[in-house]
Amino acid sequence: MGKLGGKIALVTGASRGIGRGIALRLAQEGAFVVVHYGTRQNEAEEVVDKIKQRGGAAIAIGADLRTLNGIYNLYASLDEALRERTGDNRLDILVNNAGVGQILTLEEATEESYDEVMNMNVKAPFFVTRQVLPHLRDGGRIINVSSFVTRVASPSVFTYSMSKGAIDVLTLALAQQLGGRNITVNAIRPGIINTEMNAATLQNPDGQKYAAGLSAFNRWGEPEDVADIAAFLASSDSRWVTGQFIDASGGSHL
C-alpha cells in the first residue's frame, strides 16, 4: 500500500493539466481520488479509467465552481458519493487546483475579466474550502495551487498574479487556523508548466525558448513535476510543514 492508502482526496480541475497529474499521482500512492471537472466530463472519466487500470480507485464529479450554487452542487455530489462508498462523508485531502489563466496588464483588464479571474481563482477555492472544512478529517491536508508570479513582480499578468496572491494569503491564514486540528495547509507555486494554459506560448519556438530559459534547468515543467510535490505535501512525510509556499518553477528567476 502506498503512502496515501485509505485516504480520500478531492482534486479540483483534475480533468486535465496539473490537476490530472496530481489526481494520478495521489491515486498511485493509494488514495481514493475524486476527480473534479468543470466541463470536460469525458476527459475526467479518462483520468478515472486510467487510475482504475493501474489498480487505483476514483470517481469523477462535475461542477462549475464560479458560483456558490456550483460549489454547493459539488459538495452535494461529493457527500452522496462518499456516503455510498464509505458510509460517511469525510475526506482527508483537498487540492484546490482548478483555475484560469489570464494574460492582461493593469490597463487591459476590464470589469468582466477581473471578475472572471477572481471568481475562479479566489472565490472558488475560498468557498470550496469552507464547504469541505467541516468534513475534512483531523490530520488532513489542504494543498492550494498558487503560482511563481506571486514571488516575482509580473505586471504582464496583473490580475492573475493578484488572484494567486490571495491564494497565498488564504494558505497562511488557514494554516494558522487549522494547526490545532493537525491539518497542514500549503501552496505550490508552479512556474511554466506544459498544459493548455500555456498552449499558445509553448506552440512557437520563441515561446519555447522563453519558457525553457526561465528555469535554471533550461526546460519548462510538466504536470508530473508539480504532482510529485503534491504527493509529498499530501503524505505524512510533510507533517511538520505548514503555511509554506513550495516553489515548483525549476528555479525560475533565482
Ligand X SMILES: NC(=O)c1ccc[n+]([C@@H]2O[C@H](COP(=O)([O-])OP(=O)(O)OC[C@H]3O[C@@H](n4cnc5c(N)ncnc54)[C@H](OP(=O)(O)O)[C@@H]3O)[C@@H](O)[C@H]2O)c1
Of 42 and 177, nearer to ligand X (C-beta) is 42
In whole angstroms, the minimum distance from the beta carbon of 43 to ligand X comes to 6
* Assigned C-alpha cell, 68: 456558490
Q: What residues numbered 119-138 form the site for ligand X, per CB under 6 A?
A: 120
Active-site pick, 37, 75, 160, 210: 160
Q: Segment contacting ligand X (CB under 6 A): 48-56, 105-113, 195-203, 236-244? A: 195-203
Angle at 166 between CA 136 and CA 122, to 5 degrees: 65
**Is residue 115 close enough to count as binding ligand X by CB under 6 A?**
no
**Is residue 245 close enough to count as binding ligand X by CB under 6 A?**
no
Alpha carbon of 66 to those of 12, 27, 72, 145: distances in Å? 12, 27, 11, 17
Q: Sheet containing 184-190: give its strands across.
A: 57-62, 32-37, 8-11, 91-96, 136-145, 184-190, 245-248
Binding mask 10-39 toward ligand X (x if CB under 6 A, else -) reads ---x-xxxxx-----------------xxx
Length of the chain in residues, anyone? 254
Active site residue 160: yes
What is the C-alpha separation between 32 and 181, in angstroms, rounded?
Answer: 22
Of 39 and 177, nearer to ligand X (C-beta) is 39
Q: Segment contacting ligand X (CB under 6 A): 63-71, 82-90, 178-186, 229-237? A: 63-71
What is the C-alpha separation between 233 and 93, in angstroms, rounded?
Answer: 10
**Is residue 97 close enough to count as binding ligand X by CB under 6 A?**
yes
98 burial level (CB within 10 Å; 0-12, 13-18, 19+): buried
Of 43 and 139, nearer to ligand X (C-beta) is 43
Task: Phi first, then psi: give them for residue 188, nearest 5 degrees.
Answer: -105, 135
**Is residue 147 close enough to count as binding ligand X by CB under 6 A?**
yes
Q: Which residues are catalytic?
A: 160
Interface positions with ligand X (CB under 6 A):
13, 15-19, 37-40, 64-66, 97-101, 120, 145, 147, 190, 192-193, 195-198
